[in-house]
Amino acid sequence: MDRKIILITGAGGSLGSAILERFYKQNSEFDIIAFSKVQNVQTCFKNIKVDLEEPLSTTFWTKLFDILNGKKVAGLIWAAGVFFGEEFSSPYILENFQKQWYINCYNLLEMTQKLCSFFDCEVGGQIIAISSMLAKRSTNGSFSYSTTKGMQDILVQKLAYELAKYNVRVNSINPGLFRSNMSEQTWSQQEKIERLQSNIPLRHFVHVNELVNLIHFIFHGNCKSLTGQNIFIEGGNLLCFSKL
């Protein structure tokens, strides 16, 4: 029998590569297709170079369908993301909003819509989008990021309804700040980090491994009714009245 496929976007990122590693080590029954903005991020997987801030090209789809070659898909993990940090008054706000919309919403929707018939209805499948705590919060420079992550959360809920007929569960994970390439600049500001930490009731920043554990649990745990959820993992940060 053909091995099933898991597709992972943002594969070269801090979280994406940690997910890739866990799935590679613990799920030898799956083949992985890694999507990355750069070529050949991981040599042991099938790689597709793609810029998710733009509409997906015909060349991209031809390459993906060639690799899939009729094989069944077990899951899509959408870990790609980018934070531009522009002020609302910036002349780039509309351009950046459009890029964020493509990466967080439109391309996730198109990929889901084109792939839904590739899932095995009997066994079922999973789509997990990495959203953000900022879907529910605003901070300076977060307008396009926060707004499109919020839209992603709604998209996840609506896709869960549509894909139930394919036996595919769709959820998002919404982390608080965690250490990664994306947040490295924040981590270099000790005072800011201490202030942010004091806003977290558990006083603990989420760690990449916790996110990978959660993804793994959703994927493999016996939780067949879990769908359409935005799962916040932020040490209680959202419970706290605080200034980001």
Q: Write out the residues near ligand NAP by the rule CB under 6 A.
A: 10-16, 36-38, 41, 50-53, 79-82, 103, 130, 132, 175, 177-178, 180-183
Residue number with CB closer to ligand NAP (12 or 150): 12
Least distance CB 167 / ligand NAP (angstroms): 26
**Smallest separation, CB 72 to ligand NAP (Å):** 24
Q: Choose between 51 and 95: whose C-beta lies nearer to ligand NAP.
A: 51
Closer of 41 and 160 to ligand NAP (Cβ) = 41
Please answer whether residues 173 and 233 qualify as being in contact, where contact means their C-beta atoms are separated by less than 8 angstroms: yes
Helix, strand and coil content of the chain, in percent to the nearest 5, comes to 45, 15, 40
* In the complex, minimum distance from the CB of residue 208 to ligand NAP, in angstroms, rounded to a whole number: 7
Kind and range of the H or E run holding 216: helix 208-220
Nearest CB to ligand NAP, comparing residues 40 and 123: 40
139: left (phi over 0), alpha (psi -120 to 50) or beta: beta
Cα 168 from Cα 165, distance rounded (Å): 7
Q: What minimum distance in Å lies between the beta carbon of 78 and ligand NAP?
A: 7
If the CB atoms of residues 121 and 217 are measured against ligand NAP, the closer one turns out to be: 217
Residue 141, SS3 per DSSP? coil
- Measured from each CB, the residue nearest to ligand NAP is 13
Q: Are 215 and 148 in contact (CB under 8 A)?
A: no
CB of 225 to ligand NAP, least distance (A): 25
Judged by CB, which is closer to ligand NAP: 4, or 37?
Answer: 37
Starting at the edge strand that comes first in sequence, how are the strands of the sheet with 73-78 ordered?
46-49, 30-36, 4-9, 73-78, 125-130, 168-175, 230-233
> Closer CB to ligand NAP, residue 164 or residue 233?
233
CB of 222 to ligand NAP, least distance (A): 26
Q: What's the chain's length in residues?
A: 244
CB of 200: closest distance to ligand NAP in angstroms?
13
DSSP string, 25-70: HH-TTEEEEEEESSS-S-TTSEEEE--TTSPPPHHHHHHHHHHHTT
- Can you name the residues that pair with 6 across neighbouring β-strands? 32, 75
Q: How far apart are CA 61 and CA 69, in angstroms?
A: 12
